[in-house]
Amino acid sequence: MSVEYDFNDPIFKKVPLYRRLAREHLSIADLKSDRIKWRAVETATHLNIPIRYQIDYLFQSIIGINEDQSPLYGAKHTIEVSFPASFPRETFKARAITNLWHPNIKWEGPTKGRICVNNQNFGRGYDLYWYLLRIGEIIQWKNYLAENIWPYPEDATVAKWVLNYAEPKGLMSIKDKKPVDESNLLEYTPEKEPEKKIIIKEVNRSKIRIKRPPQNGGD
């Protein structure tokens, strides 16, 4: 996807936040992945700078549990990412729109879906591109915290399930580097170009006149 901004536009001087949001947009404009698909769902100004995104993660993860505590799996998970007014001093906000059963994602209550990414100290080079990859690794269970230690699980109920049920059964393990899904988030299969059709037109031979050279001895 080709994205360009004229950073000489007066709007960037008037509202410096828009300059940063435009750069965040540029950071993911060329993100090519079979596993991550993003779209802008809200924009601002005449330049249509995205201020809210929805991201689909296309791989297996846990979306709930059965009565016997066994996990339920799903293959498509949608996250919403927005920016607080004090961004970038205050970091991105991420919320799961679809159900995700994970100790670092709030399962129920008024803040259901809130994702604890724990990226406050990642530095100025940490942009939306890396943020989306980090969320992907959380959903894959490549990155999770279930123990009651800092920065602490977002959902205590799920954390307890992980420690008492899931890890003992070998469903996942941080120590053994065993996630729920091992997909490469940056795996990408380019779309095939449509095959060119060769059109052969029939020729009416009755309308073709062939001029032959004179035969030897002819007039």
What integer best gives the mean pLDDT of the chain? 91
Residue 204 has pLDDT above 60, yes or no: no
pLDDT attached to residue 210:
47
Dist CA 111 CA 96 (whole Å):
10
Asked which of 125-134, 140-149, 161-170, 187-196 is least confident by mean pLDDT, the reply is 187-196
| One-character DSSP codes across 84-114 | -TTTTTS--EEEESS---BTTB--SSTTTTB
Q: Is 69 helix (H, G, I), strand (E, B) or coil?
A: coil
Give 145's pLDDT tier (boundaries 50, 70, 90). Answer: very high
- The CATH-assigned architecture of domain 10-190 is Roll (3.10)
Average pLDDT, stretch 61-79? 99
b (16+ CB within 10 A) / e for 187-201: eeeeeeeeeeeeeee
| 66 vs 214, more confident | 66
CA 98 to chain centre: 14
Give 126's pLDDT tier (boundaries 50, 70, 90). Answer: confident
- Taking only the tens place, the pLDDT of each residue in 77-88 is 999 999 998 998
Dist CA 18 CA 9 (whole Å):
11
pLDDT attached to residue 193:
73
For the chain, the structural domain boundaries read: 10-190
